[in-house]
Amino acid sequence: MSNCIVAQSGGPSSVINATVAGVVKANQLNPLYEHVYGGLNGIEGILQERFVDLTNMSEEENLKLRQTPSSALGSCRYKLKRDNVADFEKIIAIMDKYDIETLFYTGGNDSMDTVAALSEYAAKHNITNHRFVGCPKTIDNDLMETDHCPGFASAAKFIATTELQCWYDVNVYPASRKEVFILETMGRDAGWLAASACLSGKVDILIVPEVAFDKEKFLKRVKEIVEEKSKCFVVVSEGAHYADGTYISAGEAKNDLFGHAVLGGAGETLKNMILDNDIAPRCKVQDLSTAQRCHATEQSLVDVTESFRLGMSAHARTADPKFTGKMVGVRRRAGADHYDAEFFAVDADKVANYVKNFPVEWLQPDYKGITQEAVDYMLPLIQGNPVILYDENGLPAYVTPYYMRDEK
């Protein structure tokens, strides 16, 4: 019996470890491999033969791993280039050396490109004893083919919850105190995360990268809303931009004389616009920054469960010796009268290097937010709360990152 290895890449999420936990648990229940190794820091660490052995992970560790944010195996930004043959040869040699049959790689579209490139290389060189399987992961929810990406829903839930809570906070002062609140979310290319704030029902203006930003139109809307109800709630993607592609933040930062390319992101730039143009006397920005992708204490139960099961499904599919170059995706079970997910496999090269934008037909005109169709798509994904284990200090119990332990 040969071995398998699982590794993580790209920006982490709060449920990416659940996929690793799923692969490990699946192999305990149905041992297709003698050892399940964890590759540290993605493909970068695998090239350095930095592994840990996860085969006999305890149930307690597995439960903690599912709720531990970020990538417990470490991540990398290393991109395997197709013309760098040495890297491909080295990976195959290392897999030979450790008798590793299958590499499970969790990540976004760059990672799916790595899976596609490795399986293409293997096919071209008639290598049939090494296989490569992708597991989608990105809070950005911008991967093609899959209905949604594990990690998105938990981030969306935190964003919508924060928007709701901030709405309560900003509204406490009397109507005489006019104020604009701006929530900035991640999303350089796609507006999924910003759009998710609308699940709170408390967003007046939504600005996403899918629709060109029009400063005059925006300020006019803010002014109308502040006049009508004293408080105005804006949500903006970090990647929102003007029609010519200039990021909102960059658009103002070019006035900066101090050499800092970005003063404070899209939210801060909108704030300055609002104040400079006397649209409202007060404006506050909440940039969710890193917290939105690692706030694992409010995982969506649907999300973390799907992430875990996706790992199990990926593991099970490799019982077929021809299963390689695929990504395991999620889709909604057709004909079900309630939300229900099932997994399927798709060629990784159909996912690599594409971006799935938020559908413009799901946006209301004039920055007014999202349609019911968009709500119906997102709402089932954020449901439920897993039981979170806490340690004796009153903080959530997390596993020690594997990249910080003694290495094999």
Catalytic residue positions?
140
Q: Indicate whether 295 belongs to the interface with a second copy (CB under 8 A).
A: yes
Tell me if 388 contacts a second copy by CB under 8 A: yes
Choice from 169, 320, 340, 373 touching a second copy (CB under 8 A):
169
CB of 122 to a second copy, least distance (A): 26
Query: What is the distance between the alpha carbons of residues 60 and 57, in angstroms, rounded to a whole number?
Result: 8
**Single-letter code of the amino acid located at 82:** R
- Applying CB under 8 A, does 257 fall inside the site for a second copy? yes
> Terminus-to-terminus CA distance in the chain, angstroms?
20
Q: Does 160 bind a second copy (CB under 8 A)?
A: yes
Nearer to a second copy, 277 or 290 (CB): 290
Cα 283 vs. chain centroid, distance in angstroms? Answer: 29
Report the distance separating Cα 101 and Cα 313, nearest Å.
17
Q: Which is nearer to a second copy, 181 or 213 (CB)?
A: 181
CB 308 within 8 A of CB 272: no
Q: Which residue is listed with tokens 């706030």?
A: 295
Under rule CB under 8 A, residue 303 binds a second copy = no
| Contact call for residue 338 and a second copy (CB under 8 A) | no
Report the nearest approach of a second copy to the CB of residue 360 (Å).
24
Q: How far is the CB of 349 from a second copy (least distance, A)?
A: 26
Given phi > 0 = left and psi -120 to 50 = alpha, else beta, which region is 82?
alpha
Helix H or strand E segment including 405? none
Report the residue number, 42 or 325, with the smaller CB distance to a second copy.
42
Q: Are 408 and 308 in contact (CB under 8 A)?
A: no
- What angle in degrees, to the nearest 10, is found between the helix axes of 85-97 and 109-124? 80
Q: Which of 60, 89, 173, 320 binds a second copy (CB under 8 A)?
A: 173
Contacting residue, 296, 314, 327, 346, with a second copy by CB under 8 A: 296
Q: Is 243 in the site for a second copy (CB under 8 A)?
A: no
Q: Cα(280)–Cα(263) distance, rounded to whole angstroms? A: 21
Q: Would you say 19 or 300 has its CB closer to a second copy?
A: 300
Retrieve residue 50's tokens. Answer: 């930095």
Q: Which of 155, 168, 159, 150 is nearest to 198 (CA)?
A: 159
By CB under 8 A, residue 172 contacts a second copy: yes
Phi first, then psi: give them for residue 63, nearest 5 degrees.
Answer: -65, -45
Question: Which stretch in 24-32, 92-100, 278-286, 339-347 sits in contact with a second copy by CB under 8 A?
Answer: 278-286
Residues from 24 through 63 that contact a second copy (CB under 8 A): 41, 44-45
CB of 196 or CB of 324, closer to a second copy: 196
Separation in Å, CA 351 to CA 108, 135, 144, 145, 293: 9, 11, 5, 7, 22
Number of residues near a second copy (by CB under 8 A): 71
Q: Work out whether 289 is an interface residue with a second copy (CB under 8 A).
A: yes
Give whichever of 97 and 260 is closer to a second copy, judged by the CB atom. 260
Is 74 among the residues that bind a second copy (CB under 8 A)? yes
- Contact between 155 and a second copy per CB under 8 A: no
Residue 293 in the binding site for a second copy (CB under 8 A) = yes
Q: Strand order in 283-287's β-sheet?
A: 205-207, 231-237, 179-185, 283-287
Per-residue interface string for the shown chain with a second copy, residues 175-214, x marking contact by CB under 8 A: ------x-----------------xx--------------
